Structures are given as C-alpha cells and as structure tokens.
Structure 1
Amino acid sequence: MQIKIVMYHYVRQIQDSKYPNIKGLEISAFKRQIKWFQQRFNFISAKQILNAIYFNELVPNNSISLTFDDGLKDHYSNVFPILKKEKIQGMFFVSGEPLENQVVLYVHKLQFIIEKCPISKILKELMGFIQDNKSKYDLLDFNEYKKKLSTTDPFDDPETVLIKRILQFGLAMNARKQFIDDLFFKYVTKDEKSFSKELYLSMDDIHEMKEGGMYFGSHAYSHEWLEFTHLKNELEKTIRSYSKINPDKNSWMMAYPSGSYNPTVIDEIKKLGFRAGLIFEQKEAILDKDHAFILNRFDTNDFPQ
C-alpha cells in the first residue's frame, strides 16, 4: 500500500507581517490546498497508517495524510481550526525543548536571522567568525567547509544552503551556537523567552488539539541532526518530554529533524518503542514493516496552492 504524506512548517499570514521574508505558506493558500486535496484524496489518520503497516489493514485508494513539523503556534492558531472544521486529522510533530525551557531552537534562530539579514552579510560575518575563532574551537578554513558542505537544494540558493549546513552540523556545536546566538540577539531579539512563547505551541494548545482529534508525534528534543548529535543524550531528553505529550506508546512516531537519520538512529528509536519514522523524500510512502521507519513525505510546495 502506498499513500501520500505531506509536510508543512510555517502556515501564517506572511505578506505585510512582521516577518515578510520567512519561508512558509499563507493561510489563504493552505485553505485552497485543503480544498484541492478534498476533491482528489481520502484523508487518513495516524492510527490507520500504523494499522496498515503492522496489521495489513487496507486504506482507501488515493489516501493522504497531512503532517506539521516543529510544534509552531501557527499550527494551533491557523491550522487546527481549519482541520477541525473539515474533520481532518493532522499529525503534529513537536520538539520538546521549547516546551520545557522556553527557548528558541537553533534551527529557528537561524531562519529568523536569515529573514532579517541579507545572506551576503551573514556569510561575511560567518567567514570572520571562523577566522577569528579557529584556535578556540579548532575550526577549519572557511574554504574547507565550503568544499565539504556545498550542495544544491530545491528551496534555497547555494549560499543559503551552505550557511545552513555549516551552522546546523558543520561547525562544532559550541562554535555554531555562539555564532547563532550572537546574530539572533543582534538582528532578531534579545528577549528569547517571549519570542519562544510567541513561536511555539504550549501544553494547553496541545491538549486542546488532542481533544479536537489531532495526533502528536515526536520531532526529537532540540531539533539537532540525529546523524551528527550525541544521540543517546538527545533521545533520553526526547523520551522524557514526548511521553508527557503522548503517553500512548503504541502510537509513537518520529519525524526526523531536518530528515536526518541513519541505521543507528532507526535502531535506537525502535528500542525506545517508536513504531514509525518519517523522512523527507518526495515520493509516496510505502506502508509495510520494511518501510515503517523511512516513510516518505512530500512538501506542501509539491502540490497546487
């Protein structure tokens, strides 16, 4: 059995907003896309996906499921009312750290830095930071990072891709965190706690959404690339936070942050009781045990809006 799974992040009013350069989906476009899906597909739930994988239960032809990553306040304010009205279950994948500590995840700090600051300026500051801190953090020359990490991406220009890869996993963690914090406080805000409260779901939001029929999965704890982080520590924190959000271990699923996984990651989350894992590969998901931890997802931009 194969289904389409669609991935969303920001769903908000972007034009004429405080952050007009953030990459996301306008609410009006989301509404149009839902109508387009309703005319062509059958929405299915998280339970139907797991039952198809583990019990060979059939799903309707042309099945589709909608997933929303990062635990954003957008999902409560702008997505949940629409899905509840249309009787569609959304699958929401939440990182635990903002809920526990009212911080802004580094992936989002970087996104809002890029929203506020030209890429050329960030690149210049990054090159200077690497040069000035080579001995402190045992860093390579910038050109070595460029040679090692440059790649293409359908959603970003090459310079943006390079900056993201250097600052998401290329530099040592303490170096990249210092650089991102410095720029976030410089260009975005010095009040991280208030920004976090505005950006992310609260536990009250989550409880209301669950009561409204929504499913909650895990997006790990701190949204680090699981291939490159201290996996044991990240997963221990993930379980501590996620078990409070979803006590039903039989329904546990993880959307790997930034689509980062490898066989070790899969083995470890299996041991912890997860039943499925979602990746970012733009093709249909195969619902069987062999593919349970590599369920493909399309991006919202792959469909009409």
Structure 2
Amino acid sequence: MLTVCNFHYIRTNFEKPYPSIFGVTPIEFDNQIKELKKIGEFISIDQLVNNIDEILVDTKNHLLITFDDGLKEQFELALPILEKNNIEALFFINSMNYIEKKVSMVHKIHLVRSEINPNTILSEVNKVCAIERNELTSDEMIKAVKHYRYDDQQSAHLKYLLNFKLPKKDLELVINSLFETYFNEEEVVNSLYMTNNQLNYLAQKQMLGNHTHSHLALGLLNEVQIESEIFKTKSFIQSFQKNTNLAISYPYGSEEACQDPVTEIAKQLGHKIGFSMERGTNDKTANKLLLKRYSSNDLPGGKNYIE
C-alpha cells in the first residue's frame, strides 16, 4: 500500500490582501512529518520505482512526500526538515521557468488573485470574452467545488474558469495585463523558483521529477502538444543528471487533466511512475502511471484531517 502526501507552498507567512496562496509553515511541515511517521514507513525513490509492485500489494503502509512546481521555498524550508529526518521526496518542476525565464500562468493567477479583488478579475475577463463563454455550467460548478475543495465557492468557480474554461489566448490577455501591473516577472522568477544549483543538487539524488514544461492541463491538449510538454522537461532534467527513476506529476491532476492519451505518452517517453491529484491510497489495483495523492491537508497533521 502506498500513501502519497503532496505539498506546494512552504512559507513562514501567508498574509496577503486576498486569500489565494495556501500552504504550510516549516513548523507545520515538521509536525506533519512526525504525525505521518505514526501511520507508515517512508520509502526512498529507488524503492518506489524498483519495488512498486511489491509496495502496492503489501499490507504495510508505505509513505512518499511529493512537491509540485519547483518552488525555491520547498528547497530552502522543507528539504532541511526532510534531510534531518532522513526522508527522500520527489520535487516536480516546470522547465519553462528556467528555459524561458517566465512565470507559470498558474502562479501568475495565484499572485494576481492574492492582490486583486475577485470581482475586479471577473470584470477584466468580461472585457475580453463574451459572457456566455465565462459562465460555468452546473456540472462545471460541481467539478470546481470538488476539485478546489479548500476554497470558498466563489474562489473555486473563479479558479476553474481561469484554469479550465477560459480559452488560453483570453486567459493570457487577462492575467498578463493584471500581472504586469502589479509584478516584475524577472524578480518573481528569481525569487519564486529554485536555482539551477538547487535543481542539480536534487537531480544528483534522483529526486527531480517532471511536471511538464508550461504547467498546462495535458488532457485538454492534442497529442503533439502533450508530447512536447512532457519531453521538454524530461530533457531539461536529464541535462543535470541521467535519471533512471523518472516520474511525472500531471499539472492540476484532475480527471480531465490526466485523460487519455496522457499516461500512455508519458510511458512512451520513459516515465515509470505518474501522479494525479485524485485522493486515495494506492493498492494492487492502482495504475502506476496514475497514482493517487492526498493533499497534505487530508492526512494526519493536516489542517482538514479528521480521524
């Protein structure tokens, strides 16, 4: 049995004008590691890849920590705690942040939403798109609330609209305009993402994973685009150190983002392990290219954990 706990932001302070960037403090992270140790045994990356079949059928609970987005705070604040506890983890990165020196759209959205009232953002969306293209269907509203379970309803609907519904061209017009008003992209790239030296450190330990090039929902792309998104980051990771344990984390991790042929293309490009964001523990029935993960909030020590 395999239980995977996923993290994003690790900060000492999350105070912003509007709630949009959520995570844990180093103290909370350290405490959660201690709580997780009570329910299972942490495994190494080699164990994960080389013994995955045995792990999935084992009745013992094996634990794995993952981080998405390659944030510098993960390396500076979380990694020392992991190393103190002799725990390995997978850190999934987007190569666009390094090759193109650009901020991922998902992080632009987080930053914009942290500084700007949601109604102002929707007003900007309405200037660009026809109203009918902005509105979510009833099914989409349900999906939004289910996927963004830790947000209030308005925030969940806005995030779903921006991440899944709004055409890419329109999304870029809206968010880039707002982002450029409030932020300097070069400064954000340098402060938000890991350095090449930090990536190299993780690569030497086989702890660097593929989160695709641009952090797009792969299942909404065509096959050529999916292959390009995965291949670019694979090649970037291999430029540091040949990685025989290559794993991939699919951006957003929803059913839509992981739908066929995403996992098959990932497998063809050499990935042995893949992670969604479907909540649950993995057993012998699990698809190794579509393993389930819990948000850190859902597990012992997490903010929403209920025994």
TM-score normalised by L of structure 2: 0.86
Residue 209 in structure 1 maps to residue 206 in structure 2: no
Q: Aligned with 1:292: secondary structure?
A: coil
2-structure distance, mates of 1:48, 1:287: 16
Q: Aligned with 2:278: secondary structure?
A: coil
2-structure distance, mates of 1:19, 1:10: 16
Q: Once the two structures are aligned, what percentage of the paired residues are identical? A: 24
Q: CA deviation at 1:114?
A: 1.1
Task: Indicate which of 242, 250, 253 corresponds to 2:244.
Answer: 250
Task: Indicate which of 294, 302, 305 corresponds to 2:298.
Answer: 302
Residue 78 in structure 1 maps to residue 80 in structure 2: no
Is the deviation greater in 35-44 or in 4-13? 35-44
Q: Aligned with 1:102: secondary structure?
A: coil
Spell out the pairing of 1:172-191 with structure 2 (5 A cutoff): 172-186=167-181, 188-189=182-183, 191=184
2-structure distance, mates of 1:141, 1:263: 25
Spell out the pairing of 1:11-26 with structure 2 (5 A cutoff): 11-15=10-14, 22-26=21-25
1-structure distance, mates of 2:169, 2:267: 29
Tell me, which stretches of 5 or more residues in structure 1 are unaligned? none
Q: Aligned with 1:285: secondary structure?
A: coil
The one-letter amino acid of 1:184's match is F
Contact 1:146 1:162 in 2 (8 A): no
Tell me, which stretches of 5 or more residues in structure 2 are unaligned? 303-307
Aligned residue pairs, count: 292
2-structure distance, mates of 1:109, 1:183: 9
Contact 1:210 1:216 in 2 (8 A): yes
The one-letter amino acid of 2:21's match is I
The one-letter amino acid of 2:175's match is I
The one-letter amino acid of 2:126's match is M
Q: Which residue of structure 2 aligns with residue 277 of structure 1?
A: 274
Q: CA deviation at 1:59?
A: 6.4
Across the aligned residues of Structure 1 and Structure 2, the Cα RMSD in angstroms comes to 2.5
The one-letter amino acid of 1:101's match is E
Instruction: Tell me the alpha carbon deviations over residues 10-52 of structure 1, each in whole angstroms, 9 at most, x when there is no partner.
Output: 0111245899752111111111111212233211022212222
Q: Which residue of structure 1 aligns with residue 66 of structure 2?
A: 67
Task: Indicate which of 218, 225, 228 corresponds to 2:217.
Answer: 225
Q: CA deviation at 1:149?
A: 3.0
4+ residue runs of structure 1 moved beyond 4 angstroms?
Answer: 15-21, 54-60
2-structure distance, mates of 1:57, 1:141: 43
Contact 2:133 2:166 in 1 (8 A): no
Q: Aligned with 2:230: secondary structure?
A: helix
Is the deviation greater in 50-59 or in 198-207? 50-59
Q: Aligned with 2:218: secondary structure?
A: coil
Spell out the pairing of 1:134-153 with structure 2 (5 A cutoff): 134=130, 140-143=132-135, 145-147=136-138, 149-151=140-142, 152-153=145-146
2-structure distance, mates of 1:69, 1:291: 20
The one-letter amino acid of 2:283's match is I
Task: Indicate which of 157, 160, 165 corresponds to 1:165.
Answer: 160
Q: Which residue of structure 1 aligns with residue 305 of structure 2?
A: none
Q: Which residue of structure 2 aligns with residue 8 of structure 1?
A: 7
TM-score normalised by L of structure 1: 0.86
Q: Which residue of structure 2 aligns with residue 267 of structure 1?
A: 264
Q: CA deviation at 1:297?
A: 0.5
Contact 2:45 2:207 in 1 (8 A): yes
Q: 1:196 to 1:162 in 2, by over 3 A?
A: same
Contact 1:280 1:297 in 2 (8 A): yes
Q: CA deviation at 1:146?
A: 4.8
1-structure distance, mates of 2:101, 2:17: 21
Instruction: Tell me the alpha carbon deviations over residues 209-240 of structure 1, each in whole angstroms, 9 at most, x when there is no partner.
Output: 344x4611100110000011244234324323
Q: 1:293 to 1:76 in 2, by over 3 A?
A: same
Is the deviation greater in 8-17 or in 61-70? 8-17
